[in-house]
Structures are given as C-alpha cells and as structure tokens.
Amino acid sequence: MRILGIDPGIAIVGFGFIDKQGSKCVPVQYGCIQTEAHTPEEERLLHVYEGMIQLIDKYKPDAVAFEKLFFNRNVTTAMSVSQARGVLVLAAVQKGLPVAEYTPMQVKQAIVGYGKAEKRQVQEMTRMFLKLQAIPKPDDVADALAVAICHAHSYTLNSKLNEVLRS
C-alpha cells in the first residue's frame, strides 16, 4: 500500500510517499511544493493544486493522509492555509483517492507513543522508522512523512478491527 502524507500550507506543502510492506514503512519520495511569497494567492493555489496532481500521477498512492489544521492566532494565515488544504483535498478526491485526516496529537501518539511529544522527538522517530540518514528538511517534509506513518499504523489497526467486527 502506498500512502501520501501531506502537511498542508500555502508557502510550503510538505509531502511524503511511503510504502507499507507488512509491518514496515519504506520511504519512496519526499519533498515539498513551494510557492513564492509575493505571488497572487490564486496563482499560489494553482501551483499547489498542479503540484499535487503531478505527484499523484507520478507516484500513484493508494491513499492520502493530511495533518489536520490547527491555528490559535493568525486568522490571515489560517485562511490561506485552509484554501491550500482545500485544493490539495480536491486534487486527491478528483483522482479517486481515499482521504484521511489526523490531528497533530494523533500523529505524535502514533510516532512517539505520547500525544504531547516535542516536535524534535517526532522528527527523530520518523527518521528512525524510515531508516533515513537525516531528518528531512524543511520541517514540513518530516511532518508529512510522520502523517503517512500515522496513517499506515491507523489503517492496519482499522483493517483488523473491521475484520473482527465482520466475523
């Protein structure tokens, strides 16, 4: 099963593709879609959307997992990032992919085992899970890979629960 993890943003969209092979998660490709700061917002959204479509077409994921947005201060940033998330979800749904969403706390719980873990702990565990030489940069990329791993764990658990419930 190939999973695309996404850390949504307007300036930087982190992405990470992993293959779930049994109990292992194997990195396939990761990076980010970036937009220029002083570009009109509609052009930035188009760039994010087109980047997502290209990634889906090239790496052919079976599912897409997003980090749920959380904002406590800047409403302007929240609106832009929400719009970017919308075009990212639209791209996935247009390609017929199932979409899942996880809160930062759920991702931390899945990766570190503690929902209030520090960002650095999550990044280091992500690096170790995927046997990477270094923590991917920028942080959005490491976050996207963590979301993909979270989905891999959640998908396995939910599949087993559904099997039990059906029998």
Q: How far is CA 6 from CA 57, 73, 90, in A?
A: 15, 22, 13
Is 19 within any annotated ligand binding site?
Answer: no
Is 67 within any annotated ligand binding site?
Answer: yes
| 139 is known as an active-site residue | no
Q: In the β-sheet with 63-67, what is the strand arrangement from edge to edge?
A: 24-34, 12-21, 2-7, 63-67, 99-102
Is 143 within any annotated ligand binding site?
Answer: no
- Cross-strand partners of 31: 15
Q: The tokens 């749904």 sit on which residue? A: 93
Give me the catalytic one of 19, 50, 67, 143. 67
| 7 is known as an active-site residue | yes
Q: For residues 28 and 20, is the Cβ–Cβ distance under 8 A?
A: no
Give me the catalytic one of 7, 41, 57, 101. 7
Give me the catalytic one of 57, 140, 143, 163. 140
Residues placed in the known binding site: 7, 67, 140
Catalytic residues: 7, 67, 140
Residues placed in the known binding site for Mg(2+): 7, 67, 140
